A and B are shown apart, each in its own frame.
Chain A
Amino acid sequence: MTDVALVREGRTPPPVPLAPVEQRYGWSFWVGLASGWAVMAYAVYGMVQEWEATNPPNLAKVLIGGVLLHDLLIAPLVALLGLLIVRFVPVVARGPVNLALAVSGVVVLFSYPLLRGFGRHAGNPSTLPHDYVANVLLIVSITWIVAAITVSFRVGRKRRQP
């Protein structure tokens, strides 16, 4: 099938990617390795020196916990969400839906401590002064309204195509 025929059917012609560049281990690798690991060793030395404050066992748990949380939970969930989008969202709406989901996700993730109001101190009106629930709702609503308008615009333009 030619590209034009594919397009008539509403499908994208497959991209022809460039061949991936092979990983080489040249001078920059060795310079980075030596200096980078030296700096990391300095960091570990510093953590141990200030044991009371950094609490290395706790810190290690938090550091590794963050990686595991992302790699084994958040990333697979995002991939699963991607599969659901591919299966259930029509091609014409996919881009705006992806973007709206990503923006909503990032905004909610970023705002989590604000939404919960952990840092609001009674008697200190300057701490977390806004109504963050309302603000997040506003931002997310605007995002989805823009996405919906984009999709309906696209559908309309497509219908008018011969």
Chain B
Amino acid sequence: MNGDGRFGEVTARATPAGSADATEKGVSVVGRVRQIAKWSDRAAADPRHDQRTAAILGISLAVAFGTCFLTGMYSHLAQHPPSWFTLPAQPAGLFRVTQGLHVATGIASVPLLLAKLWSVYPQFVKLPPVRSVLHLVERLSLVPLVAGALFLLYSGIANIDLWYPLPVFFPTAHYWVAWLTIGALVAHIGAKLPITREVLRRRVSAADDPPCRANAVSVHRPQSPPRRRFLLSVAGASGVLTLLTVGQTVVPLRRFGLLAPRDPDVGTDGFPVNNTAEEARVTDAASNPAWLLTVVGAVAAPLELSVADLQSFPQHEAVLPIACVEGWSASRRWRGVRLADVLARAEASPGCSVTVRSLETGLYAQSDINPTQAAHPDTLLALEADGKVLSLDHGYPVRLIGPNRPGVMQTKWLSHIEVHA
């Protein structure tokens, strides 16, 4: 702040002087800290660093992180259903939408979060760092907030890029850090609610965010105000990043997906897989002509079905997406046997639930199917995709495909169907 109580054009006038001082010899550490604090005071007067900007970015981030939290929790429930939750079978594309939204919103949050941290950074170096016990408590909850927010975006982006640099197991760590972050966000919103309401209630006058005339083409046509330009730039960056990636699930935009880690039309047979048969080490077992699908458990007539047996069942078609938790999706026309028909042939009791097991071993070698989905006519043991026999990479000889299921639960290379009473 200048002596006359007005604020200079902060970036243009105040900072070079500050940096010149800092390079002078003999400035003590205390002097430097004071200088930084003074710089932070002056920067805080810039509309791009003030409370209104922080409030607008804060609300945007709260909406974005809230969306990610809800869609993420839905994905968690879908994959680890507690007793009170039944994953519905309709709408068939629900998981595709929620998970696509989860990843797209996370990506759009990157510029928002960086802008917010940049905007409030002068507060970080403000003196004194703590003004009261309550202020200390308030600042303490910023540590999990910032740490969690950075972690969620960083780990999420690494994960969709199939990169696992972290010394933790991604899904579990991402899940619990989401709870940590949302808790810290609630505490932060509680602390900042009065300020946010107050600064947003105020009418923005020309004096608050004055038009910048330095670059204007004429005195009578000033440039738009710096805060508005800053916020529009942030929104633009978010939009561009979204446009460059969202084509991995929004098919009409796939040509713009320059930075998308997947393309719904690229892969074996023209659509993606997370694991090839080679990677899952099932090539020999899956191509063995003696392969049989066994139906066991709570059934009156256990079955052992060959590919020919499956082909002798009535064949049905369904257009369903593979919707990966990593945010890509690809819709295909599947053809195969209704799971319900196989269960009926095995004389399983109506309303049973099912576990399907794969030839592969490991984390995603099996998945559970609740009674609603097991009875659904579109839940198929698929033998074909888009009119062609499944390739090994897509789960030959038979894979599960059902409506509204996360991709990791569309188990490939089936070997067992276990029926639960």
- Taking Cβ atoms with an 8 Å cutoff, the residues of A that contact B are 4, 6-8, 10-18, 20-21, 23-26, 28-33, 35-44, 46-47, 50, 52-55, 58-59, 61-64, 66-67, 70-71, 75, 78-79, 82-83, 86-87, 91-92, 94-95, 99, 102-103, 106-107, 109-111, 113-114, 118-121, 123-130, 132, 135-136, 138-139, 154, 157-158, 161
Do B229 and A95 have beta carbons less than 8 Å apart?
yes
Point out the residues of chain B lying under 8 angstroms from A124, CB to CB: 267-268, 273, 275-276, 279, 393
CB neighbors of A among B268-284 (8 A): 268, 271-273, 275-276, 278-279
Main secondary structure on A side of the interface with B: helix
| B211, closest chain A residue (CB) | A12
| B141, closest chain A residue (CB) | A36
**B147 interface residue (CB < 8 Å to A):** yes
Task: Kindly name the residue among B176, B188, B223 whose own CB sees the greatest number of chain A CB atoms within 10 A.
Answer: B176
Q: How far is the CA of A46 from the CA of B114 in the complex (A)?
A: 28
| A52, closest chain B residue (CB) | B169
15 A–B contact pairs at CB < 8 A? Answer: A15-B226, A25-B134, A31-B190, A35-B183, A42-B183, A54-B168, A91-B214, A102-B233, A106-B110, A106-B111, A110-B259, A113-B163, A123-B279, A139-B258, A157-B217
CB distance from A16 to the nearest CB of B (A): 4
Proximity string of chain B (125-167) to chain A, C-beta cutoff 8 Å, 1 when within and 0 when not: 0000000001101100101101110110010011001110111
Q: How far is the CA of A99 from the CA of B240 in the complex (A)?
A: 13
Do A82 and B15 have beta carbons less than 8 Å apart?
yes
Q: How far is the CA of A119 from the CA of B15 in the complex (A)?
A: 42
CB distance from A133 to the nearest CB of B (A): 11
Those 8 A-B pairs whose CB atoms lie nearest each other, nearest first: A32-B190, A119-B162, A36-B187, A126-B267, A39-B183, A126-B272, A53-B172, A40-B183
Do A28 and B190 have beta carbons less than 8 Å apart?
yes
Q: How far is the CA of A54 from the CA of B107 in the complex (A)?
A: 23
**B124 interface residue (CB < 8 Å to A):** yes
Do B273 and A126 have beta carbons less than 8 Å apart?
yes
CB distance from B298 to the nearest CB of A (A): 31
Q: From B165, B202, B259, give the contact of A135 (CB < 8 A).
A: B259
Q: From A26, A30, A41, give the contact of B194 (CB < 8 A).
A: A26
CB distance from B235 to the nearest CB of A (A): 12
Point out the residues of chain A lying under 8 angstroms from B188, CB to CB: 32, 36
Do A20 and B50 have beta carbons less than 8 Å apart?
yes
Point out the residues of chain A lying under 8 angstroms from B146, CB to CB: 67, 70-71
Point out the residues of chain B lying under 8 angstroms from A41, CB to CB: 183
CB distance from A149 to the nearest CB of B (A): 15
Stretch at the interface among B6-14, B81-89, B97-105: B6-14
Beyond A17-B50, A29-B134, A124-B393: 11 further Cβ-contacts under 8 Å? Answer: A13-B210, A14-B7, A15-B9, A32-B186, A33-B187, A43-B180, A47-B173, A58-B167, A66-B150, A86-B16, A126-B271
Point out the residues of chain A lying under 8 angstroms from B266, CB to CB: 125-126, 129
**B219 interface residue (CB < 8 Å to A):** yes
Do B6 and A16 have beta carbons less than 8 Å apart?
yes
Q: How far is the CA of A24 from the CA of B171 in the complex (A)?
A: 38
Point out the residues of chain B lying under 8 angstroms from A35, CB to CB: 183, 186-187, 190
CB distance from B299 to the nearest CB of A (A): 34
Do B151 and A12 have beta carbons less than 8 Å apart?
no
Q: How far is the CA of A110 from the CA of B132 in the complex (A)?
A: 38
Do B12 and A86 have beta carbons less than 8 Å apart?
yes
CB distance from B300 to the nearest CB of A (A): 39
Do B161 and A40 have beta carbons less than 8 Å apart?
no
Q: From A6, A15, A31, A67, give the contact of B45 (CB < 8 A).
A: A15
| B266, closest chain A residue (CB) | A129
**B215 interface residue (CB < 8 Å to A):** yes
Do B214 and A10 have beta carbons less than 8 Å apart?
yes
Q: Known: A21-B194, A53-B172, A119-B163. Contact between A87 and B180, CB under 8 A?
A: no
Point out the residues of chain B lying under 8 angstroms from A46, CB to CB: 175-176, 179
Do A36 and B190 have beta carbons less than 8 Å apart?
yes
